[in-house]
Amino acid sequence: MSQALSLSTPVAVVGAGAMGAGIAQVAAVAGHPVRLLDNRPGAAAQAVAGIRAQLAKLADKGKLTPEAAQAASVRLCAVATSAELAGCGLVVEAIVENLEVKRGLFRELEAICGADCILATNTSSISVTSIAAGLQRPERLVGLHFFNPAPLMALVEIVSGLATDRQLAEVLFDTAAAWGKTPVYAKSTPGFIVNRVARPYYAEGLRLLQEGAADCATLDAVMREAGAFRMGPFELMDMIGHDVNFAVTKSVWNAFYNDPRFQPSLVQQELVEAGFIGRKSGRGFYDYRAGAERPQP
Ligand code: NAI
């Protein structure tokens, strides 16, 4: 029998960026009341407006009924303080990829949310065991790792740290399935499954670029056309965001005691330092500002 959370369970999403907004959309469409919080003033309200526009588009295209889109829109709300997350049965964290910041947030959430609230992290690469360490109830923290864009990508990794209560991982597995996703269990190893397997895809692409083998547009085209990948490594990193992708690479590299296989790239570090962090900033390996996706000179 499914142990999925009942649809009346309020779900909170903290972090209203690319991932948080996508996860909030998925939960609202599934039927949960959803509260969205961000520490950047106005960001949660802006994300809710963006999701509502997205739902309206889906209805126009016939991918959702107008009634379902309207009902999901009504279930979403932006909140301004963490105190307003009291009473939620599940909180999904999708904030910056930084261990100390995530730990601080969960310590705060533990004090606000009830003892039976499930705490979930959408971290791409940080140890779930480490995030949970120091919490009063470390067994209640589970990794719930969606992929970008969350409304479209089916896979969700359900990640258990050493302290994670197995039954809560099962509840999230069944909940993700009820939300129309394809969940898979993973242990909290560096990068979990997908981000570990994908590291060489980015790393070798970056090495080829640094060696001058070809430009990024050519390398992307080769992987799409000959490799049958949906996206080449450079356009994929631009979509993920170099801030996020670089943080994930550093986290996996650190976790393996600086194993050269996972060494971060200076080319990507330069992009992060310049603020050219990909689509969300208008510039990364490609320039999106004029609406045209073209390689930079
Ligand atoms: P993003 O940069 O688009 O959004 C992060 C949001 O969190 C921002 O709106 C920021 O204002 C907010 N934030 C930061 N610190 C906060 C705090 N202490 N309290 C409340 N809000 C805070 O980042 P994105 O891409 O949505 O990533 C978020 C998380 O999801 C990261 O842990 C990342 O590793 C993970 N992730 C990212 C994927 C991607 O492809 N971008 C895929 C899967 C997971």
Q: What is the ipTM of this complex?
A: 0.99
pTM of the entire predicted model: 0.94
Q: How many helices (H) and strands (E) does the chain have?
A: 12, 10
How far is residue 259's CA from residue 72's CA, in Å, rounded to a whole number?
46
- Pick the catalytic residue from 93, 97, 110, 157: 157
Lowest mean pLDDT among 92-96, 261-265, 292-296: 292-296
Higher pLDDT, 295 or 259: 259
Q: What is the pLDDT of residues 221-257, one digit of tens each?
A: 999 999 999 999 999 999 999 999 999 999 999 999 9
Asked whether the predicted pLDDT for residue 294 surpasses 80, the reply is no
Report the C-alpha gap between 206 and 92 in whole angstroms.
Answer: 32
Tell me the CA–centroid distance for residue 222 and ligand 1, in Å: 30
Q: State the catalytic residue, choosing from 195, 245, 251, 265.
A: 195
In angstroms, the CA 38 to CA 42 distance is 8
Query: Measured in angstroms, how far is the CA atom of residue 212 from the centroid of ligand 1?
Result: 32
- Report CA(126)–ligand 1 centroid distance (Å): 13
Percent above pLDDT 90 for the chain? 95
DSSP 40: S
CB of 244 within 6 A of ligand 1: the answer is yes
In the chain, what are the domains? 11-187 (3.40.50.720), 198-285 (1.10.1040.50)
Rounded distance between C-alpha atoms, residue 102 and residue 54, angstroms: 28
- Decide if pLDDT at 188 tops 50: yes
Ligand 1 and 97: CB distance under 6 A = yes
**pLDDT tens digits, residue range 102-137?**
999 999 999 999 999 999 999 999 999 999 998 999
Decide whether any atom of ligand 1 lies within 6 Å of the 17 Cβ. yes
Q: Cα-flanking dihedrals φ and ψ of residue 200, to 5°?
A: -65, -25
The atom number, within ligand 1, closest to the CA of 95 reads 7
Name the one residue in this structure whose structure tokens are 């520490």.
39
Whether 195 is catalytic: yes
Task: For ligand 1, say whether the CB of 15 is within 6 Å of any of its atoms.
Answer: yes
To which residue do tokens 């790393």 refer?
Answer: 203
Spacing, Cα 19 to ligand 1 middle (Å) = 6
User: Distance between CA atoms of 285 and 279, rounded to whole angstroms?
Assistant: 9
Give the mean pLDDT of the chain: 96
Q: Is residue 100 annotated as part of the catalytic site, yes or no?
A: no
β-bridge partners, 38: none
Distance CA 191, CA 142 (A): 15
Does the beta carbon of 36 sit less than 6 angstroms from any atom of ligand 1? no
Residue 273 pLDDT level (bands cut at 50, 70, 90): very high
pLDDT of residue 159: 98
195 lines ligand 1 (CB under 6 A): no
pLDDT band at 293 (very low <50, low <70, confident <90, very high): low
Distance in angstroms between the alpha carbons of the first and the last residue of the chain: 57
Least confident range of 20-24, 69-73, 117-121, 293-297: 293-297
Distance, CA 146 to ligand 1 centroid (Å)? 12
Q: Is the pLDDT of residue 166 over 50?
A: yes
Where residue 290 falls among pLDDT bands split at 50, 70, 90? confident
List, as one string, the DSSP characters of 104-167: HHHHHHHHHS-TTPEEEE--SSS-HHHHHTT-S-GGGEEEEE--SSTTT--EEEEEE-TT--HH
pLDDT at 201 over 80: yes
273 as an active site residue: the answer is no
Order across the sheet with 34-37: list the strands. 76-79, 34-37, 11-14, 90-93, 118-121, 141-145, 155-160, 182-187
Task: Provide the token pair at 291.
Answer: 């609406």
What does the block give as tokens for 297? 């000179």
Q: How far apart are CA 22 and CA 199, in angstroms?
A: 23
Tell whether the model's pLDDT for residue 297 goes beyond 60: no
Q: Is 235 in the pocket of ligand 1 (CB under 6 A)?
A: no
Res 264 pLDDT > 80: yes
